[in-house]
Amino acid sequence: MSDIEEFQSQRERLQSLMLEKADRNMKRFLNLDTQVYLDGALPAREKELIGLVSSLVLRCDDCINYHLVQCHKIGLKEEELVEALSVGLIVGGSITIPHIRRALDSWDQLEG
Amino acid sequence: MSDIEEFQSQRERLQSLMLEKADRNMKRFLNLDTQVYLDGALPAREKELIGLVSSLVLRCDDCINYHLVQCHKIGLKEEELVEALSVGLIVGGSITIPHIRRALDSWDQLEG
Amino acid sequence: MSDIEEFQSQRERLQSLMLEKADRNMKRFLNLDTQVYLDGALPAREKELIGLVSSLVLRCDDCINYHLVQCHKIGLKEEELVEALSVGLIVGGSITIPHIRRALDSWDQLEG
Amino acid sequence: MSDIEEFQSQRERLQSLMLEKADRNMKRFLNLDTQVYLDGALPAREKELIGLVSSLVLRCDDCINYHLVQCHKIGLKEEELVEALSVGLIVGGSITIPHIRRALDSWDQLEG
Amino acid sequence: MSDIEEFQSQRERLQSLMLEKADRNMKRFLNLDTQVYLDGALPAREKELIGLVSSLVLRCDDCINYHLVQCHKIGLKEEELVEALSVGLIVGGSITIPHIRRALDSWDQLEG
Amino acid sequence: MSDIEEFQSQRERLQSLMLEKADRNMKRFLNLDTQVYLDGALPAREKELIGLVSSLVLRCDDCINYHLVQCHKIGLKEEELVEALSVGLIVGGSITIPHIRRALDSWDQLEG
């Protein structure tokens, strides 16, 4: 199993656990977290890019991997991905570099 | 002068001061900070939205105001702005609310 | 008007603006942000303390002021407040000190 | 060994190393870090909850695990834990979700 | 009164308030916060620079101003200051720029 | 292979991948990230210490490890390292402790 597949399998297991234990407010938040990325005034593709770079500047590898999987499904091109990550690098600084490295590694695995 | 005009005037004064005192590396970074938002594989409009929401989740009012001015120039619609801010709200949580409130106030002033 | 009164009046004005412009997801989040502090398995008082110190370590003055007002209404004693802020100081470090100073100043104004 | 046991064993080894190498200021901080969670104007239980959620919004898995162990010793109920985590989720946003998932997994292991 | 003088006067007033209300742990932390910047294995000058740039990447204007005053007393040269801020800019990204601008403005006032 | 050797080998592999995929702005940032730590008005040694503690308060283990390797090459003494980490601990709070523990463990491996 590649790292990104391991991430997805682990995420699935823990997401089930969270849904099982979540109280009503937690469940409503999780629902909202799905709604907010759907097509609306802005297309889902732009929202995924926004979610991806927000996750990068906040430096959350799991969140980055999640949005990379979505971006890959949507058909984002690598040069678009790299430009989005470059914006995050300038906004967030060198502290984001280890996350960018791992994001590009995940992307390679998604591209297979 | 509205708050956003005061922000722009203060920013201009301090940006001049920074350019006057900056060393070579600082100047190169400032240049890069301009380059990264230009049209490329991704259009400038998407990069500005990414920059805006990244600034929101990192909670920097000055950075938010700067990108709001750019988004306004580019012709972003209010409903697009609100959806982008909603993504930032879900990613970054209630701690972003005071910044969203002020962002919407700035937007109103820009719409004048 | 004291600083804390000015905060409350400004907050009220901007909260109206936010509700006026908010999309459906933003409104649902704002609703959730009220629900989560109500009495449940944990009493509202403990949730307010948790919200206060979370706001302190994330260093959001507006959020701190909001929870201080709630803690004051609930009848929190000053020595309880100070102990809660001390936990935040140890968790978040000296970077929280300016926020603690301002929090204690707001508290004095609330105590009137 | 479960993940939480491995965490505790690794933490113990590194804590010894830190105490061995620490200078006087570091040692005084570590001492203060113990003192601040003891019963006082606020009961230890409330301080542990505050420490837990502060660690969640600052997104430190080791700190979360440490406070989970303390909360478990004190006899916190799962529904109380979940409500405390829900406050952290609303304050800190979706970026805290991976940490909440892992916290609930650790809790399950502590409940054994 | 210049901005930096106003900062110092406000800081002094609020520091008195904090000392008046602080519990034992808070006081011990404040003491530690003084000790840690004194000459030791590293000279005070290097520790002030470390404190300054740490405050920059964590984006705390009050903390930055405090360390600027100390750096100015110690006789730091402007070109040394600018290089230290450049490291912070690269580490922390464009999100630190508004703080660098204000830091350079404060420095000008200190050089007065 | 020790943990720090594994870190270095993994970092090298991913750095190659990043350079291979990087766009022009990303490459220019990476170049700047090298330039900013070179001898100038401040000696490289002080800049590495600043980079190290900035990485600590921002809590990036990879960045900490990178600067530890540089500090070790430059001949930093352990008591100097510990004092620098103590400043970071006071600035950033207990949330930095897990990173300090791991940093001291890496240092031991570098001292071999």
ipTM of the complex: 0.97
User: Exposed, middle or buried, D16 (CB in 10 Å: 0-12/13-18/19+)?
Assistant: exposed
Residues 6+ apart with CB under 8 A from F24: none
Residue A7 and residue D101: Cα distance in Å, rounded? 13
pLDDT band for position F92 (50/70/90)? Answer: very high
CA of F34: which chain A residue's CA is closest?
A94
Looking at residues E63-92, what average pLDDT do you find?
98
CA distances from B21 to B17, B63, E61, E81, E87 (A): 6, 21, 19, 10, 15
Q: What is the pLDDT along chain B (112 residues), one digit of tens a residue?
A: 899 999 999 999 999 999 999 999 999 999 999 999 999 999 999 999 999 999 999 999 999 999 999 999 999 999 999 999 999 999 999 999 999 999 999 999 999 8
Contact F103, F85 (CB under 8 A): yes
Residues 6+ apart with CB under 8 A from C67: C48, C51, C52, C55
Would the pTM of this model clear 0.95, i.e. be above it?
yes
D90, two tokens: 């609303």
Tens of pLDDT along E93-110? 999 999 999 999 999 999
pLDDT band for position E13 (50/70/90)? Answer: very high
C27: closest CA of chain A, how far (Å): 11
E17 touches chain C (CB under 8 A): yes
Give SS3 for D61: helix
Contact D24, D64 (CB under 8 A): no
What pLDDT shows up at residue A4? 96
Nearest CA-CA partner of C89 in C49, C47, C59: C59
Share of chain D above pLDDT 70, in %: 100
Longest CA–CA span in chain A (Å) reads 41
- Angle between helix D78-92 and D97-111 (nearest 10): 170
Tens of pLDDT along D29-44? 999 999 999 999 999 9
D90 touches chain A (CB under 8 A): yes
Residue F86 and residue E35: Cα distance in Å, rounded? 10
Tens of pLDDT along F26-73? 999 999 999 999 999 999 999 999 999 999 999 999 999 999 999 999
Which portions of chain A are predicted below pLDDT 50?
none
pLDDT band for position E3 (50/70/90)? Answer: very high
What pLDDT shows up at residue A1? 85
Query: In chain D, which residues have their Cβ closer than 8 Å to the Cβ of E42?
Result: none
What pLDDT shows up at residue A46? 98
Whether C84 and D50 lie within 8 Å, measured CB to CB: yes
pLDDT band for position D1 (50/70/90)? Answer: confident
Count of other CB atoms within 10 angstroms of residue E71: 21
A81, two tokens: 């991905």
- Angle between helix A97-111 and F61-74 (nearest 10): 120
E66, two tokens: 């405090």
Residue F11 and residue F76: Cα distance in Å, rounded? 22
Q: Is the dihedral of CA B104, B110, B112, C6 positive or negative?
A: positive
D21 touches chain E (CB under 8 A): no
CA of E34: which chain C residue's CA is closest?
C94
What pLDDT shows up at residue B44? 98
E48, two tokens: 């002030």
Query: In chain C, which residues have their Cβ closer than 8 Å to the Cβ of B59?
Result: 60
Q: Residue A91 is which amino acid?
A: V
Count of other CB atoms within 10 angstroms of residue E19: 11
Residue C86 and residue C96: Cα distance in Å, rounded? 10
- Interface partners of D (3+ CB pairs, < 8 Å)? A, B, C, E, F
Q: Is the dihedral of CA C5, C10, C15, C17 positive or negative?
A: positive
- Interface partners of E (3+ CB pairs, < 8 Å)? A, B, C, D, F
D80 touches chain E (CB under 8 A): no
Q: Name the CATH topology of F3-111.
A: AhpD-like (1.20.1290)
Share of chain C above pLDDT 70, in %: 100
Residue B77 and residue E67: Cα distance in Å, rounded? 43
D33 touches chain F (CB under 8 A): yes
The mean pLDDT value of chain D amounts to 98
Q: pLDDT at residue E1 above 90?
A: no
D109: closest CA of chain B, how far (Å): 28
Phi-psi sector, E22: left (phi>0), alpha (psi -120 to 50), beta: beta
Tens of pLDDT along C1-42? 899 999 999 999 999 999 999 999 999 999 999 999 999 999
A1, two tokens: 């199993």
Nearest residue, CB atoms, B15 vs list E86, E94, E101: E101
D40 touches chain B (CB under 8 A): no
CA distances from C92 to A95, C58, C68, D36, F96 (A): 19, 8, 18, 13, 9
What pLDDT shows up at residue D13? 98
Count the residues in chain F: 112
- φ and ψ at D79, to 5 degrees? -70, -25
Query: In chain A, which residues have their Cβ closer than 8 Å to the Cβ of D105?
Result: 14, 17
B21, two tokens: 């005192």
CA distances from E48 to B58, B109, C71, E74 (A): 25, 41, 37, 9
Domain ranges of chain C: 3-111
Residue E94 and residue E97: Cα distance in Å, rounded? 5
What pLDDT shows up at residue C38? 98
Tens of pLDDT along D100-112? 999 999 999 999 8
Looking at residues E54-66, what average pLDDT do you find?
98
Q: pLDDT at residue F1 above 90?
A: no
D42 touches chain F (CB under 8 A): no
